Structure 1
Amino acid sequence: MKTLDEVRDFFANDKYATQVTGIEIVKADPGHSEVRLKIDDRHINAVGGLMGAVFFTMADFAFAVAVNSDIDSEYVTVTLQSSISFMRTVGSGTLTAKADVVRDGKSTCVYEISIYSDDNTELCRVVTTGSRVRKK
C-alpha cells in the first residue's frame, strides 16, 4: 500500500481537481478516501451558493482516489456512470467528501460518495459505477 504522500504526488497530475479547484487528499485507502475543499469565491454560483460542478468534481475525485489508491496497479478504474443528489447548498466553509466502496467486482465497481459541510451536514450524495481498464 502506498503512503498518503505518494498518493498525493500521483494525483497532483489531476490538475483540474487539485490546482484549478483546490481539492486536497486527506485520506487514501483501497475502497475509501476523504478529500477536502475550502470554499472561496471561484466556487460560488450567481445566486451565492456552491456551484453544482464543485460538488461533482469533489465526488469524482474522491472516487478516483479511493478506487485507484494502488497507483502501481496495471489497471485503472474510470467513471462509467454517476448519479448525484443535491440536498443542501452552502456558500462558505470547508467541505469533506467521503468515498466508500459498495461493491468491488472483477471489471466494475460501485461507490457511494457523500459530501459534508463543516458541521457534518450531508450536502449531497453520489453513486458512481466504475469500469476497470488496463493502463495504456
Structure 2
Amino acid sequence: MAVFNSLDEAREYFKGDKFATGSGMVIDDLTEEYSVCSVDVTDKLANANGGVMGGALFTLADFAFAALVNNIHKPTVAQQVSVNYLSAPKGKKLIATAKLKKNGRTSTIVNVDVVDDTGRDVLQFIGVGFKL
C-alpha cells in the first residue's frame, strides 16, 4: 500500500527536499512501482563549462529514487548508490524514471534512468534504500 494517498500529497511532502525543489525539480508521476521526476535545463544547473553540472544530474536521479522508495516505506534513506554518466544532455528538459527492482524487508533496490527531452541517455543510477 502506497504511503502517499495522492501525487499532490507526495509533492507537498517533498517540498521539504529544498535542494531539489529549489532547483526546479518536480515529481510528475508516482506509484509503488515507479516514479518520474523532471527539471527544465536552465542556467541554474550550469557548470563552469556551460553544461549541466553532474551534481544536478545526480540530484534529479536521487530525487526520483527518494520519491519512489518513500512511497513504498517512509522513511527510507539511500544506503548505497552507483552512478554512470553516459552523455551530456542536449535538450531543454531532463526526465528521471525510477523503477523498483526489489522491495525487501529492510531494503529496496531501484534503477533510475535519466534522459533529456530528445531521448538521449544521460545518466544511469542504481540505488539501495534502507528502510528505517
TM-score between the two structures when normalised by the length of structure 1: 0.89
**Amino acid across the alignment from 1:6:** E
CA offset at residue 13 of structure 1?
A: 1.1
Q: Which residue of 2 aligns with 1:80?
A: 79
> 1:20-51 CA deviation, whole Å, 9 max, x = no partner?
x1101100111310001001111111112110
Q: Percent identity?
A: 30
Long gaps (5+) in structure 1: none
Corresponding position of 2:70: 68
Measure the CA separation in 1 of the matches of 2:75 and 2:13: 13
Gaps of 5+ in 2: none
Structure 2 counterpart SS, 1:120 = coil
**AA at the equivalent of 2:54:** G
Q: CA–CA distance in 2 between the matches of 1:18 and 1:69?
A: 17
Counterpart of 2:102 in structure 1 is 103
Root-mean-square deviation (CA, aligned residues, Å) is 1.3
Deviation at 1:91, TM superposition (A): 5.7
Query: Could you say which residue in structure 1 is the equivalent of 2:59?
Result: 57
- Contact 1:59–1:115 (8 Å) recurs in 2: yes
The answer as to whether partners of 1:93 and 1:118 remain within 8 angstroms in 2 is yes
Work out the CA distance in 1 between the residues paired with 2:114 and 2:33: 16
Contact 1:84-1:126 at 8 Å conserved across structures: yes
CA displacement at 1:69 relative to structure 2: 2.0
Matched AA of 1:76: P
Supply the distance in 2 between the matched residues of 1:43 and 1:91 (Cα, whole angstroms).
13
| 1:4 and 2:3 are equivalent in the alignment | no
Matched residue, 2:20:
17
Q: Select the residue among 29, 32, 55 that pairs with 2:31.
A: 29
SS of residue in 1 equivalent to 2:50: coil
* C-alpha separation in 2, matches of 1:129 and 1:44: 28
In the TM superposition, structure 1's runs of 4+ consecutive aligned residues that sit over 3 Å from their partners are: none
Aligned to 2:89, the other structure's residue is in SS state coil
Post-superposition CA distance 1:5-29 (Å, at most 9, x none): 111111111111102x110110011
**1:115 Cα offset (Å):** 0.4
Question: Aligned to 2:119, what secondary structure does the other structure show?
Answer: coil
Query: SS at the partner of 2:128?
Result: strand
